């Protein structure tokens, strides 16, 4: 049965790493749901966070192949309950919504929305949270009349007392 897995890959700055990874995912017909690349706790190393929906067997095989074929330092795979994850979303909504919708203030407070910018015609709101929270806000603002929105890739840390440094 397919489940959502988060792959955490540590590598040096390899020029063709993304090409190698994407060709591996294409060959195996695995759809990438989210992709984030960032610096990490080790100087000159990068953390790649890739979210996919696959079976455990496929993920186990994929992680082993990524470590062996692509020559990364380490590739971890985790289920959602094994990680602490967050996404950020920005919503551009009509400023007039604040004047006409009485529920807007409670929506802002209950969901810890931050106002990033207020203009005459639009307001930009920022939220951070788990997938379910972001989905709820997206559906809510779509019903209210969102002008546009953008969602970041998932960033995640494995719930473990050690980090990657313990493995090297």
> Domain holding 77: CATH number?
3.30.70.260
Does 79 lie in the same domain as 122?
no
Is residue 15 scored above 80 in pLDDT?
no
Q: Cα separation of 127 and 117, whole Å?
A: 13
Q: Cα separation of 85 and 154, whole Å?
A: 6
Q: Cα separation of 63 and 77, whole Å?
A: 7
Question: Model's pTM, two decimal places?
Answer: 0.84
Inter-residue long-range contacts of 50-54, CB under 8 Å, 24+ positions, other chains counted: 50/6, 50/7, 50/9, 50/21, 51/4, 51/5, 51/6, 51/7, 51/153, 51/154, 52/4, 52/5, 52/7, 52/25, 53/2, 53/3, 53/4, 53/5, 54/2, 54/3, 54/5, 54/30
pLDDT in tens, 61-120: 999 999 988 878 999 999 999 999 999 999 999 999 877 877 888 888 899 999 999 999
Does 54 lie in the same domain as 7?
yes
pLDDT in tens, 131-147: 899 999 999 999 989 99
Does 24 lie in the same domain as 59?
yes
Q: What is the CA radius of gyration of the chain?
A: 19
Query: Could you give the number of structural domains in the chain?
Result: 2
CA 80 to chain centre: 12
pLDDT at 150: 96
pLDDT at 71: 78
> Domain holding 108: CATH number?
3.30.70.1150
Does 66 lie in the same domain as 55?
yes
With H, G, I as helix, E, B as strand and everything else as coil, classify residue 2. coil
Is residue 2 scored above 70 in pLDDT?
yes
The whole domain housing 139 covers: 85-151
Does 108 lie in the same domain as 93?
yes
Does 69 lie in the same domain as 35?
yes
Is residue 42 scored above 70 in pLDDT?
yes
Q: Cα separation of 66 and 76, whole Å?
A: 10
Is residue 168 scored above 60 in pLDDT?
no
pLDDT at 164: 64
Is residue 9 scored above 80 in pLDDT?
yes
């Amino acid at each position: 049965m397919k489940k959502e897995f988060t792959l955490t890959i540590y590598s040096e700055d390899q020029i063709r790493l993304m090409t190698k990874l994407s060709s591996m995912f294409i060959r195996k017909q695995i759809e990438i749901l989210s992709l984030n690349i960032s610096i990490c706790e080790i100087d000159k190393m990068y953390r790649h966070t890739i979210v996919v929906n696959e079976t455990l067997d496929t993920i186990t095989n994929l992680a082993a192949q990524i470590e062996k074929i692509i020559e990364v330092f380490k590739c971890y795979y985790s289920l959602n309950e094994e990680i602490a994850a967050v996404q950020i979303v920005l919503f551009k909504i009509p400023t007039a919504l604040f004047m006409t919708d009485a529920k807007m203030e409670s929506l802002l407070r209950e969901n810890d929305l931050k106002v990033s910018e207020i203009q005459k015609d639009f307001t930009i709101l920022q939220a951070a949270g788990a997938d379910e929270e972001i989905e709820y806000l997206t559906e809510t603002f779509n019903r209210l009349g969102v002008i546009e929105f953008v969602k970041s890739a998932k960033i995640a840390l494995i719930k473990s007392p050690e980090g990657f440094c313990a493995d090297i």
